[in-house]
Amino acid sequence: MFNLIRNNELELQLDISGVEDHLPSIAFDIVVSWDMPYQKINFTLKECWFECEEWDRFEESISQLIEQESGSVTLKDMSENPIITFTKTHSELLTIIQSKDTLGVGEFSLRAKSFSIELTEVYSKTKQLDKWW
């Protein structure tokens, strides 16, 4: 398990829960903790599957976004649902974490603001993933 984000309010952990070689893909249990003075949310997305190419694209897009004044990058699961989105506007970073129930019963969305300098750390964390592909 590794922390993709860890600041005073938001923690986003990824724990590898599966891999597939036939269609190179990886599954994570994604654990979200958001802690504010009068609110606390703990949420887990179980076995969220991503194509390895999508992970590589996400990693490269973060690297590019670091150099830009503004822009956005999204990690989508194998069903093309957006899961993690980073939107940079100058010094501000908006992190959006989303999930839709596969049965169409409900959905979850968390929007948290921080500083765009955190993208450098996020990029460093994505590079630490031990890739076999």
Distance CA 54, CA 124 (A): 17
- Per-residue confidence (pLDDT) for residue 104, from 0 to 100: 80
Distance CA 13, CA 3 (A): 4
Reported as a single tens digit per residue, the pLDDT across 34-81 is 999 999 999 999 999 999 999 999 999 999 999 999 999 999 999 999
Distance CA 104, CA 116 (A): 33
Mean of per-residue pLDDT scores for the chain? 95
Instruction: Please report which confidence band the pLDDT of residue 102 belongs to, taking 50, 70 and 90 as the band edges.
Output: confident
Reported as a single tens digit per residue, the pLDDT across 11-41 is 999 999 999 999 999 999 999 999 999 999 9
- Per-residue confidence (pLDDT) for residue 101, from 0 to 100: 85
Burial annotation 44-65 (CB, 10 A radius, 16+ → b, else e): ebeebbbbbebbebbbebbeeb
